[in-house]
Amino acid sequence: MTSLFERLGGQAAITTAVDVFYRKMLKDPRVARFFATTDMNRQRAKQAAFLTMVTGGPNAYTGKDMRAGHAHLVAQGLDDSHVDVVIEHLGATLAELGAKPEDIAQVAALANSVRDDVLNRASPSTAGR
């Protein structure tokens, strides 16, 4: 069974997906402030890695990276509601690129699996959110 990453068109599709996803995030007042001082070029590579991971492409994302990468945002108030926004925009982005609802549900589950790491919580994921 091929991954969603491959079915969407691999790395080239991820480049488009980053554009769509990142623009949705920046335009959303619920989360835009977290990107206020972001270097867009670095952000681009990070989002590509994230989208590659959640669509089942080759990746080396680790919980440690996720914690370190978001610690400063958690200090600024990043919480579950913002992760929900991310998952919302992620789904809308993939839908625009032609992903099927069942694919999107699977991606959301994968994104949810790193929620505790992103929010720097000790407990293992309570899953199913």
Partner 1 sequence: MTRVRFDTTDVDVGERESVLDALLRAGADVPYSCRSGVCQSCCLRAVEGTPPSAAQVGLPPTLVALGHFLACVAHPQDDLVCARPGALAGAVDATIRERESIAADVVRVRISPNIPFVVKPGQYVNLARTDGLVRSYSVANLADEDGYVELHVRVLEHGAMSRWIANDAVPGTPVSLRGPAGSCVYVPGSPHEPLLLAGSGTGLAPLLGIARDALRHAHRGPIHVMHGGRTEAALYGADALAQLARAHANVAVTRCVLEGPGSDDIVQGRLDHVIAARHADLSGWRVYLCGHPDLVRTLQQDAFLAGASLDAIHADAFLTRADAPVPTG
Considering only residues 18 to 37 of the shown chain, the ones binding partner 1 according to CB under 8 A are 18-19, 22-23, 26-27
What per-residue string of b and e applies to 17-52 under the rule 16 or more CB within 10 Å gives b?
bbebbbebbbeeeebeebeeeeeeeeeeeebbbbbb
104 binds partner 1 (CB under 8 A): no
Query: What DSSP character marks residue 34?
Result: G
- Alpha-helical runs (H) found in 32-79: 40-54, 63-75
Kindly tell me which of 3 and 121 has the beta carbon lying closer to partner 1: 3
Closest CA to 73 of 52, 49, 110, 46: 46
Give the residue, chosen from 1, 40, 75, 122, that forms a contact with partner 1 under the rule CB under 8 A. 40
Kindly tell me which of 47 and 120 has the beta carbon lying closer to partner 1: 47
Site string for partner 1, 53-82 (x = CB under 8 A): ----xxxx----------------------
Burial classification of residue 5, based on how many CB atoms lie within 10 Å of its CB (0-12 exposed, 13-18 middle, 19 or more buried): buried
Instruction: Write down the least CB distance from residue 3 to partner 1, Å.
Output: 13
Number of residues that bind partner 1 (CB under 8 A): 22
Contacts with partner 1, residue ranges (CB under 8 A): 10-12, 14-15, 18-19, 22-23, 26-27, 40-41, 44-45, 48-49, 52, 57-60
